[in-house]
């Protein structure tokens, strides 16, 4: 079973690839304060037209290139809507 991740598109300048920023919250083991961790993930677009600012759902796949291991499954939320 492959994982699904939700994130925001921050770059669509490459062909068939977008960069998605994924944010998660982690509790510090000693201080118990929540820390925001962001990570940029490269994802294949499957021929979809994805714009910057859209919230998308990613699915983990086998590696397509050195840094691309995810595919865009669907667009969850349009920009400004």
pLDDT tens string 31-52: 999 999 999 999 999 899 999 9
Query: pTM of the prediction?
Result: 0.87
Please identify which residue in the block is written with the tokens 């994802």: 43
- Print the domain residue range for 60: 4-77
Looking at the chain, the whole-number percentage of residues with pLDDT higher than 90 is 90
- Is residue 50 classed exposed, middle or buried when 0-12, 13-18 and 19+ CB atoms within 10 A define those classes? middle
Q: Please name every residue paired with 23 in a beta bridge, in sequence order, or none if there are none.
A: 38
How many distinct structural domains can be found in the chain? 1
Look up the CATH number of the domain holding residue 15: 2.40.50.140
Q: Which residues of the chain have pLDDT under 50?
A: none
């Amino acid at each position: 079973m492959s994982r699904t991740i939700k994130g925001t598109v921050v770059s669509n300048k490459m062909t068939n690839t977008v960069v998605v920023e994924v944010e998660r919250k982690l509790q510090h083991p000693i201080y118990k304060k929540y820390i925001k961790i962001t990570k940029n993930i490269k994802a294949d677009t499957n021929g979809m037209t994805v714009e910057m600012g859209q919230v998308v759902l990613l699915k983990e796949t086998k590696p397509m290139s050195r840094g691309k291991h995810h595919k865009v499954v669907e667009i969850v939320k349009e920009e400004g809507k």
